[in-house]
Amino acid sequence: MNYLRTAMLLAGLTALFMGVGYLIGGASGAMIALVIAAATNLFTYWNSDRMVLSMYGAHEVDRNSAPELVGLVAELAGRAGLPMPRVFLMDEAQPNAFATGRNPENAAVAVTAGLVRQLSREELAGVIAHELAHIKHHDTLLMTITATIAGAISMLAQFGMFFGGHRDNNGPGIVGSILMMILAPLGAMLVQMAISRTREYAADNLGARIAGQPMWLASALLKIESAAHQVPNYDAERNPATAHMFIINPLSGHGVDNLFATHPSTQNRIAALRQLAAELGTHAMPSVGAVENYPPHGPWGRSSSRGPWG
């Protein structure tokens, strides 16, 4: 059902993009918009990973520079049936993570230094498993495409505003142009965020299954959200269009699901993970507030508040 909903939302985003092109230049404008979208997406397909990793100053690590982190990623990737992704570390105090790449064979997992320092090994496993789930679901490419189309819609809307005042017969007119400039990017943003929220629930579910313990991820989500309110991520502030890629919104938290949220509410995600834990026969926590005190244990040994590099 999540895949069907995502496909419908992506189709709506594409139709909106074509519609803006049609308003600007009729049938020929729609075709030009399609060509622009295709060219932009082709460039993004091959370069999206390098672009976003460069935005955050991420540097690649290996078994020599970060043996435990890379070893953990390798173990989880094996359990997920995925090729070993490249592993990157961001010199960022806010705990967070994202995955990128056009396919599982060319994927990368990036984590912040704050994530490594503040999470236990089990919680870190839950986060990495979530990112591997995005890779397995091909979400990294999907989210890049939606961000690209949404950005192109905003660009076209501004283009239509320019022509609206000079081409009364063919353009949308001044009033129509103003409305288009406001409503088209807003509609694109809503669809983009809806797709992001849909994929987060799916990645939580599969990631919890890969790690083997849903409560590891639940505990990590609560810690990351709490830190996101206190520790600013300046690179994310400069690149807000990438906020949906992180496991928790690096810009701000949201108490409930709403049209303007890039992520589901953390409480809703934890509730879904608690339900999954019950289905899998693992320990479910009694309440959302108790996650922080939940002591995860598992195949990687007992948890440590210092994390795997403490």
Phi-psi sector, 265: left (phi>0), alpha (psi -120 to 50), beta? beta
Query: What mean pLDDT is predicted for residues 216-241?
Result: 90
**60-93 confidence digits (pLDDT tens):** 999 999 999 999 999 999 999 999 999 999 999 9
Q: What percent of the chain has pLDDT over 90?
A: 41
User: At 116, is the pLDDT very low, low, confident or very high (cuts 50, 70, 90)?
Assistant: very high
User: At 46, is the pLDDT very low, low, confident or very high (cuts 50, 70, 90)?
Assistant: confident
Query: What mean pLDDT is predicted for residues 23-44?
Result: 72
- Range with the lowest mean pLDDT among 91-95, 213-217, 245-249? 245-249
Count of CA atoms in the C-beta half-sphere (13 A) of 134:
33
Is the pLDDT assigned to residue 220 strictly greater than 70? yes
**Binding site residue list for Zn(2+):** 130, 134, 200
The Cα–Cα gap between 263 and 240 comes to 13
Mean pLDDT score of the chain, rounded to an integer?
A: 77
- pLDDT at 291 (0 to 100): 41
- pLDDT at 307 (0 to 100): 39
Identity at 47, one-letter amino acid code: N
- pLDDT at 213 (0 to 100): 95
The Cα–Cα gap between 162 and 91 comes to 41
Which of 131, 225, 279, 292 is catalytic? The answer is 131
Q: How many CB atoms lie within 10 A of CB 181?
A: 21
**182-198 confidence digits (pLDDT tens):** 666 666 666 656 666 67
Higher per-residue confidence, 4 vs 280: 280
- Range with the lowest mean pLDDT among 16-25, 43-52, 63-72? 16-25
Query: What mean pLDDT is predicted for residues 227-241?
Result: 85
Does the annotation count 131 as an active-site position?
Answer: yes
| Domains in the chain: ranges and CATH | 48-158+178-302 (3.30.2010.10)
The Cα–Cα gap between 166 and 162 comes to 7
Is the pLDDT assigned to residue 294 strictly greater than 50? no
Do the Cβ atoms of 246 and 96 come closer than 8 Å?
yes
Is the pLDDT assigned to residue 12 strictly greater than 80? no
**Binding site residue list:** 130, 134, 200
**For the whole model, what pTM was predicted?**
0.74
Q: Do β-strands 297-298 and 301-302 pair in parallel, antiparallel, or remain unpaired? A: antiparallel
- pLDDT at 156 (0 to 100): 63
- pLDDT at 298 (0 to 100): 35
- Range with the lowest mean pLDDT among 82-86, 150-154, 294-298? 294-298
Identity at 61, one-letter amino acid code: V
User: At 261, is the pLDDT very low, low, confident or very high (cuts 50, 70, 90)?
Assistant: low
- pLDDT at 186 (0 to 100): 62
